[in-house]
Amino acid sequence: MSETAPAPKPATPFEWVGGEGVVRALVDRFYDLMDLEPGYAALRAAHGASLESARDKLFWFLCGWLGGPQHYTERFGHPMLRARHLPFSIGILERDQWLACMHQAMQETELDPALITRLRESFFQTADWMRNKGV
């Protein structure tokens, strides 16, 4: 009786996600939900009329942040997330709506539940650090 070796774990979250196609699907679902779900209204209001630029920038950023191609850095340099988000009022409500929207998008994109747990923790730390108002 021969045992099969377990599949090796992906080297990066980018590989675990499934690459650029899945990152794009995740980002598209995130922004579609933001447009569709009333529970994300405050988050949507912060983005202006069109989401096209935001979709591309989040896709480029997440590819690199997850350990894949550095599309964002190649175009814009270091992300400087907090500095780039200072013009926007980000409090607990906006943070929580962003996190809930991303969690829903990750579930609907059918990411591995273990990866969702890992990413939720990282997203929370980043989103909480981005807050620039008390509530």
Domains and CATH numbers, the chain: 16-130 (1.10.490.10)
Q: Is 79 helix (H, G, I), strand (E, B) or coil?
A: coil
Buried b (16+ CB within 10 A) or exposed e, 34-50: beeeeebeebbebeeee
| pLDDT for the residue numbered 120 | 98
Q: Is 11 helix (H, G, I), strand (E, B) or coil?
A: coil
In this structure, the dihedral spanned by the alpha carbons of residues 96, 101, 104 and 109, taken in order and rounded to 10 degrees, is: -140
| pLDDT for the residue numbered 58 | 98
| pLDDT for the residue numbered 36 | 96
| pLDDT for the residue numbered 94 | 95
| CA-wise closest residue to 126 among 62, 59, 30 | 62
pTM over 0.85: yes
| pLDDT for the residue numbered 110 | 98
**Alpha-helical runs (H) found in the chain:** 13-17, 20-36, 41-45, 52-65, 71-76, 81-85, 92-108, 113-130
Low-confidence spans in the chain with pLDDT less than 70 = 1-3, 5, 7, 135
Tokens found for residue 78: 């270091």
